[in-house]
Amino acid sequence: MHEKRPKLFLMMASGVGEQAHGSVASQFYSNEEETAFDMTTSEKVVELLNQAALISTEEKLIVLKQVQELIINKDPSLLDNFLDEIIAFQTDKSIEVRKFVIGFIEEACKRDNELLLRLIANLNMLMRDESVNVVKKAILTLTQLYKVALQVSLSVSDMQEACWDMMTQIKEDVLALLDSDNDGVRTHAIKFTESLIITLSPRTPDSDTPKKQEGDISLDKIPKDHTYIRYDTLCEEGKSALEQLLKFMVHPAISSINLTTALGSLATLARQRPMFMSEVVQAYETLHANLPPTLAKSQVSSVRKNLKLHLVSVLKHPSSVDFQGQISTLLLDLGMSQSEITRCTPATVQPRKRLHHESNALFVLADAPLAEDDEDKEEPAPVVTPKPSSSVGTQSAIDLTAEFLLPLLTPDNVANLVLISMVYLPEVMPASFQATYTPVESAGTDAQIKHLARLMATQMTGAGLGPGLELCKARDEEVKEEDGGAGESSSKDPLIIRKLSAVSLGQAISVVGAPAAYKSPITEEAPQIKKLPEPILPTSQPKAPGASGRKKVFKLADVVQPFSEAQIEKLSNMAIKRILLSEKVIAQSGMSHVRVKLLARLVTQFEGGKKNDLLQFILEDMRGRSELAFSLLYHEYNEYLSQQPSGSLDSYEHCLYTLLSGLQEKPEQRDGLFTKLVLEAPVITDSALEVIQRYCEDESRVYLGMSTLKELILKRPSRQYQYLNVLLNLSSHEKEKVRSTALSFIKRMYEKEHLKDCIEKFALTYMQFLVHPNPPSLLFGAGEDTEVASPWTEETVRQCLYLYLSLLPLNHRLVHELAAVYTEAIADIKRSVLRVIEQPIRGMGMSSPDLLLLVENCPKGAETLVTRCLHILTDKVPPSPELVERVRDLYHKRVPDVRFLIPVINGLEKNEVIQALPKLIKLNPIVVKEVFNRLLGTQHSEGSSSMSPLTPGELLIALHNIDSSKCDMKSIIKATNLCFGEKNVYTSEVLAVVMQQLMEQTPLPILLMRTVIQSLTMYPRLAGFVMNILARLILKQVWKYPKVWEGFVKCCQRTKPQSYNVLLQLPPPQLASVFERCPEMREPLLQHVHSFTPHQQAHIPASIMAVLEANSRKPEPEPQPELHHPEIIEEREVF
Amino acid sequence: MPAHPLRVAVVCSSNQNRSMEAHNILSKRGFDVRSFGTGTHVKLPGPAPDKPNIYDFKTTYEQMYNDLVRKDKELYTQNGILHMLDRNKRIKTQPERFQSCKEQFDLVITCEERVYDQVLEDLNSREQETFQPVHVINVDIQDNHEEATLGAFLICELCQCAPCGVRDPVRGLGLVQLRRRLRGGQREQAGAGPGAGSPDGLLHQLDPAVAGPSA
């Protein structure tokens, strides 16, 4: 397949294959149709045509193409013979076949021009084919054949006029197709127009004609005396075609394809017909400034590429010299560098000028007055005037308008224009603008202003506005009149006439028309406009009025007096106020973002008053106008940035400060706008920070304020320490809520590694204040007089410690710092410290290594602190072995203060407790009570599982066994009293066991009997048990221990009558001793014995009876009152 | 039915990787395709980024292959260059320069924007003759093997969408649809030249068969 069809037909389709094609074709035949080799060409054609009538479309095309090859290239003499047969296929139902016929017509006519006479009608018919594709093919062919037709009409003498008329008609039809609905048809029509214009305009020496088209006919080859082809008609037709093309180009909804095609056509025109250079460049300018908004992004990019490409190709043409400025500006805008542009610019300048003069003698006329004109005009405008004929009209309109605009483009006016046009900006940036926009580099320079003036002039002229256009209209009318008048005489060379009039009129109009035109709107001299076209003979008006006329042009600017400062101020204020007040209306129209942007931009550029107005306006409804607030803030900041490095933040700061304070002072504002403003502000200034601090100090907003502050600290690392400091300062705030919130925020932040140091340092610094004799002024806030050396108070001490103490549970190491400070602090502070540390120390727990270390080291002077810590730790829970170990070490090795042991007493060994007891019970009674509480487990209401090393009994026994040399008896008695005080611990059973054990000791403890008596007092039902004890004491010869014996007697005395039996067991001397002490006992005892049965009495030894009866006659002594009161007895006994 | 099959040209810089990958796939799918480069030389990666192997367009793929085998067989096997050349030489003998080819196409597909610009410039510099339109479409493809393969499939899809669209603009809707799909992925660009048109915005006039070798 590959070697068969494609190659050959590609070539054939291209249709211009010459010898090369022939050879390929012959190869084809030698391959394909060996059999047909001997046949004549004519026979072959006949056979092929016969085949073609019968076969399918695809094959038909192949066959027909063979025929075409044969009769056009191989043997053109056959062309005439078979023409009709092939043309007959123009009614074939296949589009492709019909298209082939068109192609064939083209080739045939090119081979033999005169065939066109016969074929033009067919072409005309195919032009009206129902298939668009056929129409397009027809247009394509006509593009080629139009010049052939012209050529034929000229060269063939008997050429029928009708044929040419038809061609002219067809031409009009094609031009009309520029408005076709079909994009492709339009595109083809453009190409046709291009080649039409080239044909219908004269080739000049500077024309850049392609080699292949060297021989093509053009207007300059048309004889002026042809019978039916009129030079001037053709010339006009060409111009009108160009106008149509230009008009087509500026259609706002032109498609991308049409546009690129037209761009290319214009470039071809400019190169081949430099006389149109001006129109082309201007069309490019207009296009560049007005890319159709309908284009997609890639299309814009494509159009711009094309524009650039064509501009470069135009620029390379020597005739572009007058337009180099405009072209390079365009190319710069399209992103080409200056050096590239220079490279593409032809160097020859002078020769071209001369060329122009030679080619058109008229320019001498045009140049002459201009040269003079230049002398009394400062502004040189040489580019403007010397234009090729047909361009004068529009060119001047734009130029004049641009010239008119130039002095008006003051910064003020431009700014106003920008402001006004803001309102008309579309919602979304059009792709064309996005692609074409390049930042204006040379803003404000003369060149740029000129460029701008030109751009605007192009737009205005396009829209039918501007003084230039009016002038030109007037002039055109004049031209027509003059044409009308001089038409007959100069019909031989209408072109020249036209030029003449145009040029001379250019002068004339600037004389009278300009001032009138400009003044008319002001002075209501409207009728004068009508008079403008009044013919004025160029010769009768010398240049002088022209000059004055120009001056008057500028007078318009002079007429408009600048406002005074005050007026400007007032007007701008009013303008801004209007924009401010139009809030609702604009919001309804959905353009409020534009208003916001506008306001922010405007106000940023003004000083003082307006800013405050706007800020006030925003604060009136901060929530609704927050967008405006942000926009303003950003603009202020932007302003500051744009003035770097010397810029001042004052304005921005003022704005931010005002907004924040406004929010802070508003009571009801709750929706986080403050936070948003702070967090989105580009920079937080010092004053703004103050507002934030004030916000945080407000109890009702403290949380929101501090959250904001926290965000700031975390999200603005560059100044986070400054923000952190604010928060830290708040941690010692006098208001409880502020302070506690600050502390909880700091605690959270303390977890962040990079903030840790800073927070810690701050906390420690504050704590260090405690070593000073007086609290630093810092604590009283800035307002108070620092000179007053007030003393430390509980409150000030706390202030210094809040932060520290809240950090302590998070970082136990800090505890050592506290110890260091503590040792140096005065007593008042120490007390305060001891009061406040409970919570944090408990938070640390006794397993904290640092706390243990503190206990271990216990700095000198910090004993109370350590003790306090120990107490706090063991208050609710039993001490851990580690803690006990540390305390024990401390006690034994460094500070033998028994008070250390108290908190951990339940962690000590039994013997250690017993050892410590003497010292312990000597302490302050309250402390002793505490110790006992711990030992007896009575302190914990919640019944914690603290296991005392001593049972209550053991404790009591230990007390009894304290060496009296180590401790005075009074303390011991008090201690035992404490025990007896705990009735629910020391039950009768416990006491019984204690007594039992004590009794069995040898020697007997001094306090034994006291305890017995006490127990008896507490539990009278123990009497029996006590009797038993007493009896056994007798066995232990209790009388040998004087104190105990004393107690024994007292006990007996108190327990009578049960004790009688015990007493009777005493040996006689002891019984006598008893009676010595208590004589009143004898009589009852004796009666007791007498009440015995005789048998019982017999058991009582005589010696006893003797003692009993010894002083029976004696009167009984009075009972001692104190004997009835055990307590008093005890006193006497012990002391 | 069209008068002739779609004539496609795929153009990249050196006519080695991207255009050849597409050439390979398109010809396997039965398209009438040719491939070209627009560079002044044929460049292949060398041992270092600043030391490419440079050949002129007259050097055949075979010669390049042998040259690289001689230079560093390992390296060029490993980076796939030899494999690529081996494939290329089985498609055609040597790289071709677009600017030197005067054949007529319906569709010219370029593989990067710079190449697109060069093609456009070249086409514009030619003299107009037949006024026959041609589409020039840019499909941005990174110059590596993977992207080339992906790009080639895209190009193939593009061609299949417009079997007649290019030749017959009225029915060129297939192309428009593909453009929409392409926008998501590869960047695609198109331009129209001074030729006749089609509704999709992608054409360019090309003057084929300029007799004799032109500069």
The pLDDT value given to residue A487: 40
> Given the structure tokens 């056994």, which residue do they identify?
A1032
The pLDDT value given to residue B36: 94
**A593-598 — which CB contacts under 8 Å span 24+ positions?**
A593/A627, A594/A422, A594/A423, A594/A425, A596/A627, A596/A628, A596/A631, A597/A631, A598/A419, A598/A422
Residue of B nearest to A17 (CA): B209
A302 at the B interface (CB within 8 A)? yes
CA distance B195 to chain A (A): 6
What is the rounded distance in angstroms from the CA atom of residue A869 to the CA atom of residue A531? 112
The model's pLDDT over A961-987, given as tens digits with 9 standing for 90+, comes to: 777 777 777 888 888 887 877 777 788
Mean pLDDT over A740-758 rounds to 81
Query: In this model, does residue A567 exceed pLDDT 90?
Result: no
Mean pLDDT over A526-535 rounds to 37
Question: Taking CB atoms and an 8 Å cutoff, what residues of chain B touch A187?
Answer: 133, 192, 195-198
Query: In this model, does residue A11 exceed pLDDT 90?
Result: no
The pLDDT value given to residue B194: 35
B185 at the A interface (CB within 8 A)? no
Answer whether A258 sits within 8 Å of B197, measured CB to CB: yes
Cβ contacts from A onto B, under 8 A: 149
* CA-CA-CA-CA torsion sign (A827, A829, A831, A833): negative
CB A872 within 8 A of CB A842: yes
Question: Taking CB atoms and an 8 Å cutoff, what residues of chain B touch A266?
Answer: none
What is the rounded distance in angstroms from the CA atom of residue A978 to the CA atom of residue A981? 5
Query: In this model, does residue A356 exceed pLDDT 70?
Result: no
What is the rounded distance in angstroms from the CA atom of residue A76 to the CA atom of residue A22? 13
The model's pLDDT over A897-915, given as tens digits with 9 standing for 90+, comes to: 777 777 777 777 777 777 7
CA distance A96 to chain B (A): 6
Cα–Cα distances in angstroms (integers) from residue B98 to residues A498, B9, B104, B110, B119, in the given order: 48, 9, 11, 11, 8
Of A16, A144, A183, the CB nearest to B199: A183
What interhelical angle do A952-960 and A925-936 show, nearest 10?
140
Question: Taking CB atoms and an 8 Å cutoff, what residues of chain B touch A309?
Answer: 120-121, 124
Mean pLDDT over A311-340 rounds to 85
Q: Which of 52-91 (B) contact A at CB < 8 A?
A: none
Question: Going by DSSP bridges, is the β-strand pair B203-205/B133-139 parallel, antiparallel, or unpaired?
Answer: antiparallel
Which residues, other chains included, contact A742 with Cβ-Cβ below 8 Å and sequence gap of 6+? Answer: A696, A702, A706, A727, A728, A730, A731, A733
Which string of DSSP letters, residue by residue, matches B126-192?
Answer: SPP-S--EEEEEEE---SSHHHHHHHHHHHHHHHHH-TTTTTSGGGTHHHHHHHHHHHHSS-EEEE-
Which string of DSSP letters, residue by residue, matches A603-624?
Answer: HHHS-HHHHHHHHHHHHHTTTT
- CA A554, A556, A560 angle in degrees (round to 5)? 125
CA distance B93 to chain A (A): 17
A193 at the B interface (CB within 8 A)? no
Query: In this model, does residue A1134 exceed pLDDT 70?
Result: no
Query: In this model, does residue A508 exceed pLDDT 70?
Result: no
The model's pLDDT over A980-1018, given as tens digits with 9 standing for 90+, comes to: 777 777 888 888 888 888 877 777 787 778 888 888 888
Q: Could you tell me the two tokens for A64?
A: 């027909």
Mean pLDDT over A2-19 rounds to 34
* CA-CA-CA-CA torsion sign (A703, A705, A706, A708): positive
Confidence of residue A213 (pLDDT cuts 50, 70, 90): confident
What interhelical angle do A1068-1077 and A1042-1055 show, nearest 10?
70
- CA A1001, A1007, A1011 angle in degrees (round to 5)? 95
What is the rounded distance in angstroms from the CA atom of residue A246 to the CA atom of residue A251? 9
Tell me whether residue A307 is exposed, middle or buried, using C-beta atoms within 10 angstroms of its C-beta: 0 to 12, 13 to 18, 19 or more: buried
CB B23 within 8 A of CB B43: no
Q: Could you tell me the two tokens for A219?
A: 């207007």
Residue A131 has what DSSP assignment?
Answer: S
Cα–Cα distances in angstroms (integers) from residue A287 to residues A180, A248, A305, A396, in the given order: 22, 11, 13, 18
Of A18, A261, A309, the CB nearest to B120: A309
A180 at the B interface (CB within 8 A)? no
The region of weakest confidence among A99-113, A347-361, A362-376 is A362-376
Of B7, B195, B201, the CB nearest to A299: B201
What is the rounded distance in angstroms from the CA atom of residue A331 to the CA atom of residue A306? 11
CB A640 within 8 A of CB A651: yes
The pLDDT value given to residue A553: 52
Task: Provide the residue type at B79 as one letter.
Answer: N
A360 at the B interface (CB within 8 A)? no
What is the rounded distance in angstroms from the CA atom of residue A38 to the CA atom of residue A195? 44
Q: Could you tell me the two tokens for B155?
A: 């190009």
Smallest Cα–Cα separation from A121: which of A133, A109, A107?
A109
For A594, other C-beta atoms within 10 Å of its C-beta total 16
A186 at the B interface (CB within 8 A)? yes
Question: Taking CB atoms and an 8 Å cutoff, what residues of chain A touch B203?
Answer: 257
The pLDDT value given to residue A158: 61
For A230, other C-beta atoms within 10 Å of its C-beta total 14
φ and ψ of B162, to 5 deg: -125, 60
Which string of DSSP letters, residue by residue, matches A997-1043?
Answer: HHHHSSSPPTTHHHHHHHHHHH-GGGHHHHHHHHHHHHHTTGGGSHH
Q: Can the peptide bond before residue A667 be classed as cis, meaning omega within 30 degrees of 0? A: no
CA distance A35 to chain B (A): 26
CB B1 within 8 A of CB A58: yes
* CA-CA-CA-CA torsion sign (A261, A312, B211, A214): positive
The model's pLDDT over A1006-1050, given as tens digits with 9 standing for 90+, comes to: 777 888 888 888 888 888 888 888 888 888 777 888 878 888 888
Task: Provide the residue type at A683 as one letter.
Answer: V
Which residues, other chains included, contact A908 with Cβ-Cβ below 8 Å and sequence gap of 6+? Answer: A884, A888, A901, A916, A949
> Given the structure tokens 């066995």, which residue do they identify?
A1035
Q: Which of 16-45 (A) contact B at CB < 8 A?
A: 16-18, 20
CA torsion angle A137 A140 A144 A145 (round to 10): 50
Q: Which ranges of chain B have pLDDT less than 50?
A: 1-2, 164-215
A305 at the B interface (CB within 8 A)? yes
A177 at the B interface (CB within 8 A)? no
In this prediction, what percent of chain A has a pLDDT beyond 70? 78
What is the rounded distance in angstroms from the CA atom of residue A425 to the CA atom of residue B15? 47
Mean pLDDT over A653-669 rounds to 77
The pLDDT value given to residue B23: 94
Of B1, B124, B211, the CB nearest to A264: B124
Confidence of residue A12 (pLDDT cuts 50, 70, 90): very low
The pLDDT value given to residue A387: 38
Question: Taking CB atoms and an 8 Å cutoff, what residues of chain B touch A140?
Answer: 130-132, 196
CB A15 within 8 A of CB A107: yes
Mean pLDDT over A42-71 rounds to 82
Smallest Cα–Cα separation from B52: which of B81, B78, B25, B73?
B81
Question: Taking CB atoms and an 8 Å cutoff, what residues of chain A touch B129?
Answer: 16, 212
In this prediction, what percent of chain A has a pLDDT beyond 90? 1
Q: Can the peptide bond before residue B2 be classed as cis, meaning omega within 30 degrees of 0? A: no
- Please, how many CA atoms are within 13 Å of residue A951, restricted to the half-sphere of its CB? 8
The model's pLDDT over A121-159, given as tens digits with 9 standing for 90+, comes to: 888 888 888 888 888 888 988 888 888 888 887 776 565
B27 at the A interface (CB within 8 A)? no
B127 at the A interface (CB within 8 A)? yes
Confidence of residue A478 (pLDDT cuts 50, 70, 90): low
What is the rounded distance in angstroms from the CA atom of residue A991 to the CA atom of residue A999? 12
The pLDDT value given to residue B151: 92
- CA B93, B98, B100 angle in degrees (round to 5)? 85
Which string of DSSP letters, residue by residue, matches A1090-1127?
Answer: HTS-HHHHHHS-HHHHHHHHTTTTSPPPPPPGGGG-HH
Question: Taking CB atoms and an 8 Å cutoff, what residues of chain A touch B128?
Answer: 210, 268
